[in-house]
Every structure is written in C-alpha cells, then in structure tokens.
Chains A and B, each alone.
Chain A
C-alpha cells in the first residue's frame, strides 16, 4: 500500500480486482432467472391476498347486520366475473403457500440451495397439478353462464 504506484497502476489493479469472479458472476443464481420471477410473484400474490383479506373481513363482518344483508353482499361472489377473480385468488394462495414452503425449506436446510432450480420446477409441477381440477370446479359455473 505504501509504495507509490506509477500512474495508472492503481487503476490497473482495480480493474484486475473487478475482473475476478465474485458474487457478481457466481453469487446470484436468482438474478434474471426462475428465482427472480418466483420472488416477484411471491410479492405480487402476497399483496393480492392481503387486499382480498380486507374485503373478506368486511363481508364476513356483515353477519352482524343480519342474514339478509350478509346474503345480499355475499351473492356478489356468485357473479361469473367475480368467480374468475376467485380462481385467481385461489391460484395466488396456492402459489404463495407453495413458494413460501420452498423458501422455508431452503432457509431451514441451506444445502437445498444447491437444488433451488429443481425445487422451483417441482413447486410449479405441484401448482399446475393442483390448479387443473380447481380450475374445472370453479370454472364450470362460469362456463355454463357464458357458453
């Protein structure tokens, strides 16, 4: 550190330092790949779910105004468009649950970080498998209403 470097030598050393593979080159397996989209989707579904939760607390609280008021408001959920939104809600909850489980697994068993991509695709497989029958069950009344 003490030897006075020739002009440019310091910059050269710094450039060499930068060229060394660091966390930039190896350390972020999530960046731009599956993990990043999983991360984004986790937050988006989280916000969607908490917004529904507010509405859900409100509609449930309507029981306090008697059965008619409650039934009237809850009948909104039979609207086909709302049913499609409900399908989205179920998808969001299932994704959030599965992805949260994947994150917890990696948190509690760090060695699973080696398999984070495989875990993600396994999660997607479970998600799709769950969503197929759910889409049919929730979607059938919508289909009947529109087609």
Chain B
C-alpha cells in the first residue's frame, strides 16, 4: 500500500493522493494475514537464501 499526501492542488482543483502498489487489506481478515504472510515469508526467504550462499561458498572457503 502507500498513500502519499496529495500533491499541491492544480488549476482545476485538488488532485487525488498518490498511490503505490497494493493496498494493505483493511481489517484483520484472511486477506490481511495472507498479505502479512507474503511479506514476512519474503523476509525469511531473504535470510535463508543469503545465509545458504554464505555458508556454502563464502565462510571458511565454503563447503565442498
């Protein structure tokens, strides 16, 4: 999600706020928890993938 403050009003009246990406699902329904799961699992995968490469190929000449 991400709603930015509205840009300054143009000659034809106020513009709408700027939006980027996907809205955070309102409330605490299933949609919200899946939204959260997608982001947190992404964070977990990041640590796992980078850790995997470091352990296999970098730290102590890696595993052979």
Contact = CB atoms under 8 A, between A and B. Distances in A.
A103 B16 contact: no
Interface residues of A, number: 28
A20 B11 CA distance: 9
Interface in A85-101: 90, 93, 97, 100-101
Interface stretch (A6-14, A24-32, A121-129, A139-147): A24-32
A68 interface: no
Interface residues of B, number: 26
Contact of A114 (B1, B5, B49): B5
B2 A112 contact: yes
Given A100-B42, A113-B4, A114-B4, A35 B15 contact: no
Interface residues of chain A: helix, strand, loop or mixed (majority): helix
A22 B3 contact: no
B13 A20 contact: yes
B18 interface: yes
A29 B18 contact: yes
Given A27-B16, A110-B2, 7 more contacts: A20-B13, A21-B12, A23-B19, A27-B15, A27-B19, A112-B2, A113-B20
Interface of B: 1-7, 10, 12-13, 15-22, 24, 39, 42-43, 46, 49-50, 53
Interface of A: 19-23, 25-30, 35, 90, 93, 97, 100-101, 103-104, 106-108, 110-114, 116
Q: Which 7 A-B pairs have the closest CB atoms?
A: A113-B2, A26-B15, A110-B2, A21-B15, A113-B4, A21-B10, A113-B20
